[in-house]
């Protein structure tokens, strides 16, 4: 059976901050059939803040869910079956209870309601992007000032490693691993003039992640996306959801 597209929308103005941590911290979150994809021997995870807009489930526009900020944390893995590269989500946060409920209860994603805002100011030459989030009774900020023009992801190995990911692996029921194929055109990078991400951002993750070391920040244009659901093929599982 062919994979089914269940969601469409736009992911835009992505701020991606990447960290390195001990491999054993991430190994606890691996679904069946996947393993860590290390970058030069290091285990990486990223915070991704972005604007989610024009949300449609099975072609139906979702009222009051047409533009909002979202923050997720992901780490980098590959399939043990065929080496396909992808990500596993540690946590996902959005200010829309319906989105959090559907993603968590129906699609098994670690998705939670949280206060997140989004703001973009654009001029001819620059763009200011901001994603405030609420934590411990105060607002904190994820911000970037970028040049309005953008460029392709280069042959730089870290850029490709972090940005070029089109599969999400999610732990499902009965030891199955779900796959979500994210279809979109190749994304481009903005040149960063200034970026400031509150050091409180890691407080949205369990304590083991709080001392992770920052290694890179990228800002990506984004595009329209569509998501297809399937099941990772393993020795005991060849079905497609």
Which parts of the chain fold into alpha helices (H)? 23-27, 97-101, 157-163
Phi, psi of 97 (to 5 degrees): -55, -35
Inter-CA distances, 52 with 9, 48, 95, Å: 7, 12, 11
> Domains plus CATH for the chain?
4-231 (2.40.400.10)
Higher-scoring residue by pLDDT: 81, 78: 78
Q: What is d(CA 229, CA 102) in angstroms, rounded to the nearest whole number?
A: 14
- pLDDT exceeds 60 at position 238: no
Q: Say what the pTM is.
A: 0.91
User: In the prediction, which pLDDT does 240 show?
Assistant: 35
Please report which confidence band the pLDDT of residue 121 belongs to, taking 50, 70 and 90 as the band edges: very high
Please report which confidence band the pLDDT of residue 233 belongs to, taking 50, 70 and 90 as the band edges: low
Q: Which residue has the tokens 């699609």?
A: 107
SS3 of 149, please?
Answer: strand
- pLDDT exceeds 80 at position 30: yes
User: In the prediction, which pLDDT does 65 show?
Assistant: 67
Q: What is d(CA 197, CA 205) in angstroms, rounded to the nearest whole number?
A: 15
In this structure, what DSSP letter does residue 61 have? E
Helices (H) and strands (E) in the chain, counts: 3, 16
pLDDT digits (tens, 9 = 90+) for 31-71: 999 999 999 999 999 999 999 999 887 777 876 767 899 99
111's tokens? 């998705």
């Amino acid at each position: 059976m062919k994979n089914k597209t269940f969601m469409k929308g736009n992911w835009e103005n992505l701020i991606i901050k990447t960290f390195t941590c001990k491999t054993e911290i991430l190994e606890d979150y691996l679904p069946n059939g996947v393993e860590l994809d290390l970058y030069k021997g290091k285990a990486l995870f990223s915070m991704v803040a972005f604007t989610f807009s024009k949300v449609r489930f099975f072609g139906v526009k979702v009222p009051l869910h047409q533009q909002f900020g979202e923050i997720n944390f992901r780490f980098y893995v590959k399939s043990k079956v065929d080496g396909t590269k992808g990500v596993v989500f540690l946590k996902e946060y959005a200010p829309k209870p319906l989105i959090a409920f559907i993603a968590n209860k129906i699609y098994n994603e670690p998705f939670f309601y949280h206060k997140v805002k989004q703001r973009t100011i654009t001029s001819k030459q620059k763009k200011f992007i901001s994603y405030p989030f609420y934590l411990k009774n105060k607002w904190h900020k994820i911000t970037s000032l970028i040049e309005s023009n953008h460029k392709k992801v280069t042959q730089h190995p870290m850029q490709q490693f972090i940005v070029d990911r089109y599969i999400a692996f999610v732990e499902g029921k009965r030891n199955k691993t779900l796959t979500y194929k994210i279809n979109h055109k190749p994304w481009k990078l903005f040149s960063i003039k200034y970026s400031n991400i509150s050091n409180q951002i890691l407080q949205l993750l369990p304590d083991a992640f709080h001392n992770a070391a920052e290694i890179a920040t990228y800002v990506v244009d984004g595009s329209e996306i569509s998501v297809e659901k399937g099941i990772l093929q393993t020795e005991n599982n060849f079905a497609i959801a």
